Amino acid sequence: MDNNISCQMKVETGDAGYVLEDVPHLTDYISDLPTYPNPLRSNPAYSVVKQYFVDADDTVPQKVVVHKDGPRGIHFRRAGPRQRVYFAPDEVHAAIVTCGGLCPGLNTVIREIVCALYHMYGVTRVLGIDGGYRGFYSKNTITLTPKVVNDIHKRGGTIIGTSRGGHDKPKIVDSIQDRGINQVYIIGGDGTQKGAAVIYQEVRRRGLKAVVAGIPKTIDNDIPVIDKSFGFDTAVEEAQRAINAAHVEAESAENGIGLVKLMGRYSGFIAMYATLASRDVDLCLIPESPFYLEGEGGLLEYVEKRLKDNGHMVIVVAEGAGQELLAAENLKTSTAQDASGNKLLQDVGLWISDKIKGHFAKIPSMPITLKYIDPTYMIRAVPSNASDNVYCTLLAQSCVHGVMAGYTGFTSGLVNGRQTYIPFNRITEKQNNVVITDRMWARLLSSTNQPSFLRPKEVIAVQKLERETQLLDGDSSKTNDI
Ligand SMILES: Nc1ncnc2c1ncn2[C@@H]1O[C@H](COP(=O)(O)OP(=O)(O)O)[C@@H](O)[C@H]1O
Ligand SMILES: O=P(O)(O)OC[C@H]1O[C@](O)(COP(=O)(O)O)[C@@H](O)[C@@H]1O
Ligand SMILES: [Mg+2]
- For residue 244, pLDDT over 90 is answered with yes
Ligand 1 atom with least separation from CA of 193: 21
pLDDT in tens, 335-380: 789 999 998 899 999 999 999 999 999 999 999 999 999 998 999 9
Instruction: Give the DSSP H or E segment for 197.
Output: helix 190-205
Give residue 482's pLDDT.
Answer: 55
pTM, entire model: 0.94
Lowest mean pLDDT among 45-49, 117-121, 305-309, 382-386: 45-49
| Nearest partner of 452 among 434, 433, 477, judged by Cα | 434
CA of 190 to the centre of ligand 3 (A): 5
CA atoms within 13 A on the CB side of 40: 24
Is the alpha carbon torsion for 191, 197, 200, 205 positive or negative? negative
Interval 150-172 mean pLDDT: 98
Please say if the pLDDT value at position 285 is more than 70. yes
Task: State the amino acid at position 211 in one-letter form.
Answer: V
pLDDT in tens, 186-232: 999 999 999 999 999 999 999 999 999 999 999 999 999 999 999 99
Ligand nearest to the CA of 339: 1
Helix (H, G, I), strand (E, B) or coil at 66: coil
Shortest-distance ligand to the CA of residue 193: 1
Atom of ligand 1 nearest to the CA of 132: 25
- Does 234 count as an annotated binding residue? no
Tell me, yes or no, if 168 is annotated catalytic.
Answer: no
The count of other CB atoms within 10 Å of the CB of residue 89 is: 17
Q: How far is CA 415 from the centre of its chain?
A: 13
Mutate to test the pocket of ligand 2, among 99, 319, 338, 342 (most ligand atoms within 8 A of CB): 342
Q: Which residues contact 297 (CB under 8 A, 6 or more apart)?
A: 451, 453, 455
Q: What is the pLDDT of residue 1?
A: 39
Residues near 8 by Cβ (< 8 Å), separated by ≥ 6?
A: none
From ligand 2's centre to the CA of 440, what distance in Å? 24
Atom of ligand 2 nearest to the CA of 192: 15
Q: Is 265 in the pocket of ligand 2 (CB under 6 A)?
A: yes
Across residues 91-116, what is the average pLDDT? 98
Q: Which ligand is nearest to the CA of 221?
A: 2
What ipTM score was computed for the predicted complex, to two decimals? Answer: 0.98
pLDDT value of position 188: 97
- Kindly list the protein residues whose Cβ atom lies closer than 6 A to any atom of ligand 1: 99-101, 132-133, 164-167, 188-192, 194-195, 198, 218, 340, 342
Distance 355 CA to ligand 2 centre (A): 26
How many angstroms does the Cα of residue 480 sit away from the middle of ligand 3?
19
| 472 pLDDT above the threshold of 60 | no
DSSP for 399-433 reads HHHHHHTTB-SEEEEEETTEEEEEEHHHHHSS---
